[in-house]
Structure 1
Amino acid sequence: MNKARYTVGILLLLAAAAQADVVYQDSFDGDGLGTNAGIGGGAAQTQGGGSWGDDGDATYNNTGTSFSDSALLYSTNSFQSAGGVELTVNYTCNSVATAGRNLFGFGLLADASSWSAVDDNSPFAELSSVYSIGVNLITESGVPVGLNFADESTVTTLDGDAIGAGTDREVVIRVEDDGIGGADWTLSIAGTEQGSGNIASFDFTKSFSFAAYGQDNERTKIINSVSLEAIPEPAALTLVGLAGFGFLWLKRRFG
């Protein structure tokens, strides 16, 4: 009896450790990009004429002199999870209409600190040399809108539907290990699932930073808050089921 209770207790502890864990969270409280009162450290930026500032939100600005001005905001810490990740971003964008070289996107980017401003391309829409998954909001001519995946050689549009403009609008991107070398993904907007599918090959050994890309001085581009959760591996989730089964077995056997 004591041995059985001990075994189930261990399973319950392991199951608790296997729950999703918030590894990065920032609401940009006007304390500067490098300071984060939330979880997972601060943020930095690579500037190509534009810039991101923290005025209570992360807000993109540029000099207004060139449509090629751009800047990449990214979390200084990167995060790796073999089971997958779920990214929640609350943003404000007053219009997604085409205007010059107007781009606004965000998502998860590997090796974010090595991104070069001279690329003058969004890592979430048209830059194939990066490893990323994220959304491009604005329907710039020739640039894929929606949820895009880049694997350092090609860019694949996973969901080409418009993300939409709005104030305090929420996007959730979930990428989860499918157990056979790929990833199951879902995209939710404003609390409603917009799309889902599978990526045949996804490298969960990579470490990802949250990143946001802005270009041109048209339209409002604001990140209000961001949260990143690490998803447990499928094997770890099995422990949850085993612990529950063990608990029910003890209850039925010993009351």
Structure 2
Amino acid sequence: MSEQLPPRLLTEGDLSARLRGLAAHVAVPPPTTGAQVRSRAQRRRRGRRVLLSTGALAAAALTAVTAGALTSSAGQLAPPATSPADLTPAPVQQVTIDLDAYTLTIEGRTFRISGLQESCPIGETTVTVTAKYPSLAMPPNKFSTLTGVEVNQWVVTFTDRARRQERLLLRALDPAAGLASIGHNSGAGAIALSPEDGKWVYDAIEPGARVEIKGWQAASENPDAFCHESQPVTGAR
């Protein structure tokens, strides 16, 4: 049998020599010149600029798309334009009758009228014009000496709120009857005007006009029983 020799211990010099040998076999990058350093810096700056430009374009595109969507949505949801005139209700024509002063005022003009007999009041302080008749035939009045049909000219009517009947409000006097009743309480259930004034008021007044009646009216439990002009009207408009 041969005797095995113990391993030889490495000295510090041997270890240093082996490490230097290993280092010699490792690839060492060539030294970097100043030109190479500047080239790398320029490439990095160009890369950053490309990234920034791309991000800016993407943000602008997103903003445009979003703005377009909002504009489109707002255009669909916005109500149609409405002028102030569309929101303003149509004015109501105002007419005033003063039974004490015997006047009628409309469109800035004032006319003299014939007032109402005590037995034939209109019975309301505010009425609304419902119809107009250039000519209207009334049935005979059993409470007077008139036996034939009476024809009234330029008639304006309203609807009695208590009885829901159409009643005369205005009419023109018969030219042959004279104008003595103007300024007096001689009208039977309707205000009377002269023929000329009656025609002007008839043309000016509109259905739906609000008529305010001022002044004193006598109370009557059943004016339709006594007033010829306050009977229900059945004539053609």
Q: TM-score, normalised by structure 2?
A: 0.23
Query: Whose strand proportion is higher, 1 or 2?
Result: 1
Query: Whose helix proportion is higher, 1 or 2?
Result: 2
Query: Which structure: larger Rg?
Result: 2
Q: TM-score, normalised by structure 1?
A: 0.22
